[in-house]
A = this chain, B = another copy of it.
Amino acid sequence: MIKELWTRRSIRSFKDTPIKDEDLRTILSAGLTAPSAVANYPLELVVIKNAETKAKIAGFYEFSGFCVQSPLSVLVCYDKDKRTSYFKDSDFGPLDASAAVQNMLLAATALNIGSCWTHALLSVEAYQTLLNLPKNIIPVALVVLGYTDKTFEHQDRYDEAKIHHDKW
Bound-state Cα–Cα, A165 to B50, Å:
9
Whether B166 and A107, one on each chain, are in contact in the complex, defined by CB atoms closer than 8 angstroms, is no
Whether B162 and A43, one on each chain, are in contact in the complex, defined by CB atoms closer than 8 angstroms, is yes
Whether A133 and B168, one on each chain, are in contact in the complex, defined by CB atoms closer than 8 angstroms, is yes
Residues of A126-168 whose CB lies within 8 A of B? 130-134, 137, 140-141, 155-159, 162-168
Whether A103 and B162, one on each chain, are in contact in the complex, defined by CB atoms closer than 8 angstroms, is no
With contacts A90-B121, A131-B167 taken as known, whether A107 is within 8 angstroms of B48 at the C-beta atoms is: no
Bound-state Cα–Cα, A6 to B38, Å:
18
A94 at the interface (CB under 8 A from B): yes
Size bracket, chain A contacts: 35 or more
> How many identical chains are in the complex?
2
Which residue numbers of A lie inside 8 Å of B, CB to CB? 1-2, 4-6, 8, 10, 25-26, 28-30, 32-35, 37-38, 41, 43-50, 53, 63, 86, 88, 90, 92, 94-99, 101-103, 105-107, 110-111, 117, 119, 121-122, 130-134, 137, 140-141, 155-159, 162-168
A-B contact pairs, 29 of them (CB 8 A): A1-B110, A2-B2, A2-B107, A5-B107, A8-B35, A28-B158, A29-B158, A35-B105, A41-B157, A43-B162, A44-B162, A45-B162, A46-B165, A46-B168, A48-B166, A49-B165, A49-B166, A90-B122, A92-B119, A95-B97, A96-B98, A98-B99, A102-B102, A130-B167, A131-B166, A131-B168, A132-B167, A133-B168, A137-B168
